[in-house]
Amino acid sequence: MLLTPIGAVLAISFVVYNILKVRGYSEGTNEVKAISAKIRRGANAFIKRQYTVVAWFFAVMLVVLCAMSFFGFLTWFVPFAFITGGFFSGLSGFVGMKVATMANSRTATASQSSLNKGLRVAFSAGSVMGFTVVGLGLLDLAVWYYLLHYVFKLGIADVTAAMLTFGMGASCMALFARVGGGVFTKAADVGADLVGKVEAGIPEDDPRNPAVIADNVGDNVGDVAGMGADLYESYVGSIVASCALGVAAFPQFNNTPGNPAVTIPMAMAGIGVIVTIIGSFLIRTKENATQKALLAALRRGTNFSSIAIAIAAFPLVWFMLGQEHIGIYGAILSGLVAGVGISFFTEYYTSDNYKPTRELADSTKTGSATLIIGGLSLGMLSTAIPLLLVCASILVSFFVSGGAGDAALGLYGIGISAVGMLSTLGLTLANDSYGPVADNAGGIAEMAKLDPEVRRRTDALDSLGNTTAAVGKGFAIGAGALTALALIAAYVDRIEALVADGLEKGLEWARNFDLNLSITSPTVLVGIFIGSMLPFLFTAMTMKSVGRAAQAIVVEVRRQFREITGLMEGKADADYEACVDLCTRSALREMILPTLLAIAAPIVSGLILGPNGVIGLLIGCTASGFMMAIMTANSGGAWDNAKKYIEAGNHGGKGSDSHKAAVVGDTVGDPLKDTCGPSIDILLKLSSMVSIVFAGLVLAFHLF
Amino acid sequence: MLLTPIGAVLAISFVVYNILKVRGYSEGTNEVKAISAKIRRGANAFIKRQYTVVAWFFAVMLVVLCAMSFFGFLTWFVPFAFITGGFFSGLSGFVGMKVATMANSRTATASQSSLNKGLRVAFSAGSVMGFTVVGLGLLDLAVWYYLLHYVFKLGIADVTAAMLTFGMGASCMALFARVGGGVFTKAADVGADLVGKVEAGIPEDDPRNPAVIADNVGDNVGDVAGMGADLYESYVGSIVASCALGVAAFPQFNNTPGNPAVTIPMAMAGIGVIVTIIGSFLIRTKENATQKALLAALRRGTNFSSIAIAIAAFPLVWFMLGQEHIGIYGAILSGLVAGVGISFFTEYYTSDNYKPTRELADSTKTGSATLIIGGLSLGMLSTAIPLLLVCASILVSFFVSGGAGDAALGLYGIGISAVGMLSTLGLTLANDSYGPVADNAGGIAEMAKLDPEVRRRTDALDSLGNTTAAVGKGFAIGAGALTALALIAAYVDRIEALVADGLEKGLEWARNFDLNLSITSPTVLVGIFIGSMLPFLFTAMTMKSVGRAAQAIVVEVRRQFREITGLMEGKADADYEACVDLCTRSALREMILPTLLAIAAPIVSGLILGPNGVIGLLIGCTASGFMMAIMTANSGGAWDNAKKYIEAGNHGGKGSDSHKAAVVGDTVGDPLKDTCGPSIDILLKLSSMVSIVFAGLVLAFHLF
């Protein structure tokens, strides 16, 4: 159990080390500094206003949860666990964003020397993000665990129940951050492109474009802060769900302090920190490395970590649970293998090194319509293999863990397989989040009119980042689906525990309730239907949000081009703040409704259909959400890379008709891959967490 | 029970009456006749080749089914019921197509006199289609029922089991017809538009475009023949599923000949024929009627039929099942109400009289990318209300029929609600299928250079047809989902019956099998996941098929423009046959794989996951398929109508930048709404039917 606090301390130390390392690099010329400062100011202003809105939401939820505690539906720890989850999730995003806005100018400056040096700055900033998430997650878990179990002497079942709420706080924060940040970044991006590139014919990141600073701010608040909050939630979600399932699977340990079934997920995470820190030191190349060599270096780090985890997990399971449960080690392996498989196929479908994206680029020859048809079908087709991998992982984890004899063991195995997949998160996330830093650095290089070679280098980094980001997304979605299933299983356990408790107290609702999970029962069936619909509705809402916000930006940018004399000639400055402010207001307005949907849907459905219907809803939502998440991520990624492939000189290169068609595809894909897809991933888990927290209420009051 | 053969005879008489009526109209000038003959030849040639391929498939399936009968997995009636189902489904499509190709020239000629006269010809042709489907369906049902029950003296359970196979034959044929016809029509349409409208800048249906005849052939083989086969399948599928559920719900009747629970669905259908024939005589307007008045006339017919059915069903249920089961009447009503509700919201989302499509048309101002984003989100958003209506209908049907006390009664109620929805099919389908006739008439008017006023009139008919077609699609999808659920329930009954039978015979597999439908069991869960994926994979395949076939057409059309001198100047004729032939070959090649997927997926999954997994698969497939079907239909319909709205002179009208963007949207939407969406509807039911037929095999051999 000591591994968890050790991991937390190590991760946080590594974060401090990397922050100092980033600060040590030169910030560059005054012009670079000035542009970076503008971006930083915009990002800070957004985060401040966003977190204020979110704080109000948390205050309201605190009152609601306290009221529920007062009426006996929850323990009094729950409201506070909820708050700390939200706080740490928000803090993860905040730290990542701070460092990213510090590193962008330094990456641009370092790229003046070499590609490799640029990568090192950007990657250090990415590591801050990755290890902040991991470190804060483990810290919070460890503190609550010790506090509840050893100080308040709570039974292990109550400890894990309270810790699940902690996950709900993190999920709420994550959804706000993802949707808000996602709307901000894509509204700015799409808006800037539509007027700048398409109408005015000026290049990307041209300082004459009034939305250019907003676009760069967006990278930091959406792709960095949003992603940080998001993955914090996945990470702790998978761990707390497995802990809760461990309680049900190993009742024999429930009275021994330090229940090994509960500590294994946390210990795995602790080991994960150690091996990924080592792995990140393996990522180094020669000074004049090619892009391919850089990618190979990144892969070396992640491969090392995965293999090291696979080795270290064996003695962990063997000594803590004993030889008869070594099958659970098989579950960990199956999670790792599925994760690697999903990553590979994500890369296959979205990288322009492979056939699908090249064929997609070909389809631009007959215009944007065939490109859109091709991209949608590519995305839908690409769901098949990841889905089958997850299904295989479910079956393997369940049966090797002993699920045939005791279903609780099998479900614990599924939870543990998600933990296995996410144990290398620190490094995956570092790989994933240096991309936006490089993207920003490119913007700064363009605006500060640095040597074009600098832009070429940051573009190389950015494109490398695109591949690693797509792979990271595949990983996150796969782990998200498994985590969601683990949470659903934890929900079923929770319902059973509450009913048993209610029967003991002789309550009427407990006597009337019948846990009937048969798939042909109408409430379960209707639950599955409604659940399948939620990701569609949610995607529609977030897409519409981006569309609305982008249209507002288009209007504003056109106004500035029209009204500010000398802007197009470069003689007058654009009013960048107006665009940043507009994006901020749009994002804050648009993030409310989708989040409320995610919270309200399981509660309202529960009050009508009862817990059986909720379980159907959660499973339907996980199934169709997984598909939508993969489809949106891969369609978007493939369109983006098809455009990059054409820009690299194929099919006529930049400015050709094919390129114009490809820009349309990229614009359609942007909100899909960066706003909708990643948010669905949170939706799956948030709806499960909400159901768990409101289980007592729904059990006591429901229509069918 | 006499109502069924009476209905069949009435429907077929009405078909003959309408055929004679259509033949009575003048065919027009020699030029019109010549063009119509070309279209007819192309359509006949395609249908001949398509049915030959399908005949081979049916021959193979016959051997497979006979082999299964030989080994005792099926009764010997099954293979022959399968064949007749396929035969009648194919015949429905064939008759409809024949009349449509006869009516197109006559509609064009009649439109020279007035809009109203044009409508009457087209609507008579549509009625032939609608009542052929209904008449042949009832005929086949009645013949098999009498034959099996009274001649071969089979028990009622065996009768309904054999009749379900009859549905599988119809579904197979329907899927071939829908996918093959859908690929043909959209490849020709998209291909003709991409080169003709976009590249060469010539108008739609211009005789210089080599793909123009293929485009018009496509309307007949896809939108008419494909739809006929498709709805034949929905119609008989819902009836046979309800009959099978009636056997399980009312075991007390199973030894009385003419089991009322089994005859009610057939009797309802018979009554439906009578009221819809009356309803179709109510559709008449004044000679100088406006488009609005025409729509009102069409609505009068359907409204009358729905209300008449709602009234007639009451005594039927009361006298046949007795007062204590009058709740089943509530199920019929809930199906009708849900159907009307879905139709209304389909119209709301796709008609340019309402806000969503107008807003979509607005989004063309910022280009095709925002239009695509807007259309996709509109489609996703529009799934919510239809889904909730279906869910409400499920819950109401189940509980008012007495499902709380006896689940079998509730499931019978769900089946009956689908029958209620489909009982007015003759008329709905007539409304739905006169559109393609009008579309063809417009093409002929353009090619034969008739007075532009004629084209304006056929366009008005076509646009009216767009709205009624969208409404019909909503109806079909809603009824399809309920039918699929009824089939799934029938599958569960079948598994239980087979296991009981196996236990009686002391077979080992029966002793080892455990019907565990708990949603948290891993096989059910994996089944749900795989099922949810199938509609995505299927949509991807059919979209890709259209894309590939359209690209081949593009290449061919470009070749003809390049190589045939004088073509663009109108001095030389295009080689229309080459395009028709190319579409035919593409369509035949592309229809194989999706059909095999639909048949193989439930069998292969069943052999791995067992019947529990299959049930999960079928439910997952129904849930996500329903969403995809609604989304594709409504996105496509809204894009089409947004284009029409702009062509009517808004946002700059034809030729403006907005119009160019709208053409992209329409091109993307075409395969979605006319190939993918309607095929998914068949996929849902075919996979259930296949599962039922292969239930014995899967029970005896499965891995988990």
Give contacts of B627 with chain A, Cβ < 8 Å. Answer: 532-533, 536, 624
Report the C-alpha gap between B63 and B343 in whole angstroms: 42
In A, minimum Cα distance to B486 occurs at: A520
Q: Strand pairing partners for B518?
A: A518
Q: Is the CB of A533 less than 8 angstroms away from the CB of B383?
A: yes
Q: Please give the pLDDT value at position A252.
A: 84
Q: Please give the pLDDT value at position A105.
A: 94
Q: Is the CB of A520 less than 8 angstroms away from the CB of B517?
A: yes
Q: Is the CB of B522 less than 8 angstroms away from the CB of A410?
A: yes
Best mutation target among A359, A398, A520 (most B Cβ atoms within 10 Å) is A520
Of B198, B376, B492, the CB nearest to A520: B492
Confidence of residue A32 (pLDDT cuts 50, 70, 90): very high
Q: Is the CB of A383 less than 8 angstroms away from the CB of B537?
A: yes
From A386's Cα to the closest Cα of chain B, the distance in A is: 10
Contacts of B365 (CB under 8 A, 6+ apart): B651, B658
> How many degrees, rounded to 5, is the angle at CA B17 between CA B11 and CA B19?
105
From A127's Cα to the closest Cα of chain B, the distance in A is: 34
More confident residue, A164 or A619: A619
Confidence of residue A109 (pLDDT cuts 50, 70, 90): very high
Q: Please give the pLDDT value at position A430.
A: 87
Q: Is the CB of B529 less than 8 angstroms away from the CB of A631?
A: no
Q: What is the dihedral of CA A422, A150, A328, A333, to 10 degrees?
A: 20
Does this model's pTM top 0.90? Answer: yes
Percent of chain A with pLDDT over 70: 100
Contacts of A440 (CB under 8 A, 6+ apart): A39, A100, A101, A104, A107, A216, A219, A220
Q: Is the CB of B377 less than 8 angstroms away from the CB of A616?
A: no
Q: Is the CB of A369 less than 8 angstroms away from the CB of B190?
A: yes
Best mutation target among A371, A381, A532, A673 (most B Cβ atoms within 10 Å) is A532
Report the C-alpha gap between A270 and A532 in whole angstroms: 35
DSSP three-state, residue B403: coil
Count of C-beta atoms within a 10 Å radius of residue B194: 24
- Tell me the HSE value of B193 on the side-chain side, using a 13 A CA sphere: 20
Closest-CA residue to A395 (of B676, B241, B315, B521):
B521
Report the C-alpha gap between A699 and B639 in whole angstroms: 45
SS (H, E, C) B191-239: HHHHHHHHHHCCCCCCCCCCCHHHHHHHHHHHHHHHHHHHHHHHHHHHH
DSSP three-state, residue A518: strand
Closest-CA residue to B245 (of B495, B400, B414):
B414
Of B521, B532, B664, the CB nearest to A624: B532
Q: Are A589 and A174 in contact (CB under 8 A)?
A: no
From A388's Cα to the closest Cα of chain B, the distance in A is: 7
In B, minimum Cα distance to A542 occurs at: B377
Closest-CA residue to B109 (of B41, B33, B214):
B33
Give contacts of A541 with chain B, Cβ < 8 Å. Answer: 377, 381
Report the C-alpha gap between A478 and A474 in whole angstroms: 6
In A, minimum Cα distance to B397 occurs at: A522
DSSP code per residue over A550-617: HHHHHHHHHHHHHHSTTTTTTSS---HHHHHHHHHHHHHHHTHHHHHHHHHHHHHHHHHHHHHHHHHH
Report the C-alpha gap between B525 and B530 in whole angstroms: 9
Give contacts of A381 with chain B, Cβ < 8 Å. Answer: 536-537, 540-541, 544
Q: Helix A355-362 vs helix A368-381: angle between axes, to the nearest 10 degrees?
A: 160
Q: Please give the pLDDT value at position A59.
A: 95
Report the C-alpha gap between B476 and B390 in whole angstroms: 12
Exposure class string for B139-174: b at 16+ Cβ within 10 A, else e:
bbbbebbeebbeeeebebbbbbbbbbbbbbbbbbbb
In B, minimum Cα distance to A613 occurs at: B519
Q: Are B387 and A529 in contact (CB under 8 A)?
A: yes
Report the C-alpha gap between B667 and A487 in whole angstroms: 42
Q: Is the CB of B369 less than 8 angstroms away from the CB of A194?
A: yes
pLDDT at A509 over 90: no
Q: Is the CB of B547 less than 8 angstroms away from the CB of A411?
A: no
Give contacts of A370 with chain B, Cβ < 8 Å. Answer: 190, 194, 547, 550-551, 667
Best mutation target among A190, A371, A512, A533 (most B Cβ atoms within 10 Å) is A533
From A556's Cα to the closest Cα of chain B, the distance in A is: 13
In B, minimum Cα distance to A632 occurs at: B376
Q: Are B42 and B184 in contact (CB under 8 A)?
A: no
Q: Please give the pLDDT value at position B628.
A: 95
Residue recorded with tokens 């160019």: B660
User: For B183-208, what is each residue's pLDDT tens digit?
Assistant: 999 999 888 888 887 777 788 788 88
Q: Which two tokens stand for residue A506?
A: 């002789």
Give contacts of B536 with chain A, Cβ < 8 Å. Answer: 380-381, 383-384, 627, 631
In B, minimum Cα distance to A672 occurs at: B373
Q: Are B635 and B671 in contact (CB under 8 A)?
A: no
From B628's Cα to the closest Cα of chain A, the distance in A is: 9
Report residue A58 CA to chain centroid gap: 20
Of A381, A410, A551, the CB nearest to B370: A551
Q: Which two tokens stand for residue A276?
A: 């990924």
The amino acid sitting at A203 is P
Report the C-alpha gap between B616 and B605 in whole angstroms: 10
pLDDT at A551 over 90: no
Q: Is the CB of A537 less than 8 angstroms away from the CB of B381?
A: yes
Give contacts of A411 with chain B, Cβ < 8 Å. Answer: 520
Give contacts of A373 with chain B, Cβ < 8 Å. Answer: 543, 546-547, 667-668, 671
Given a cut of 50, the residues of chain B with pLDDT beneath it are none
Q: Please give the pLDDT value at position B463.
A: 77
Give contacts of A520 with chain B, Cβ < 8 Å. Answer: 407, 411, 488-489, 492, 517, 615
Q: Strand pairing partners for A518?
A: B518
Confidence of residue A644 (pLDDT cuts 50, 70, 90): confident
Report residue B574 CA to chain centroid gap: 34
Q: Are A432 and A445 in contact (CB under 8 A)?
A: no
pLDDT at A654 over 80: yes
Mean pLDDT over A159-167 rounds to 84
Calculate the alpha carbon distances from B605 to A206, B512, B613, B690 in Å: 54, 19, 7, 12
From B3's Cα to the closest Cα of chain A, the distance in A is: 32
Give contacts of A378 with chain B, Cβ < 8 Å. Answer: 540
Exposure class string for B411-426: b at 16+ Cβ within 10 A, else e:
bbbbbbbbbbbbbbbb
Count of CB pairs separated by less than 8 Å, A with B: 238
Give contacts of A377 with chain B, Cβ < 8 Å. Answer: 539-541, 543-544, 547
Of A374, A384, A550, the CB nearest to B533: A384
3-state helix, strand, coil in chain A (%, to 5): 85, 0, 15
Exposure class string for A253-265: b at 16+ Cβ within 10 A, else e:
beeeeebbbbbbb
Q: Please give the pLDDT value at position B152.
A: 87
Q: Are B55 and B588 in contact (CB under 8 A)?
A: no
Of B519, B550, B551, the CB nearest to A619: B519
How many angstroms separate the most distant Cα atoms in chain A? Answer: 80
Q: Are B601 and B689 in contact (CB under 8 A)?
A: no
Indicate the burial class of A29 (C-beta count within 10 angstroms; 0-12, 13-18, 19 or more): middle
Q: Is the CB of B384 less than 8 angstroms away from the CB of A536?
A: yes
Average pLDDT, rounded, for chain A: 89
Give contacts of B522 with chain A, Cβ < 8 Å. Answer: 394-395, 398-399, 403, 410, 414
Q: Is the CB of A627 less than 8 angstroms away from the CB of B532?
A: yes
Give contacts of B194 with chain A, Cβ < 8 Å. Answer: 366-367, 369-370
Q: Please give the pLDDT value at position B138.
A: 93
Count of C-beta atoms within a 10 Å radius of residue B41: 16
Q: Is the CB of B664 less than 8 angstroms away from the CB of A533?
A: no
Q: Which two tokens stand for residue A162?
A: 């309270």
Of B369, B390, B525, the CB nearest to A619: B525
Give contacts of A620 with chain B, Cβ < 8 Å. Answer: 528, 620, 623
In B, minimum Cα distance to A192 occurs at: B366
Eight-class DSSP state of B152: S
Eight-class DSSP state of A401: T
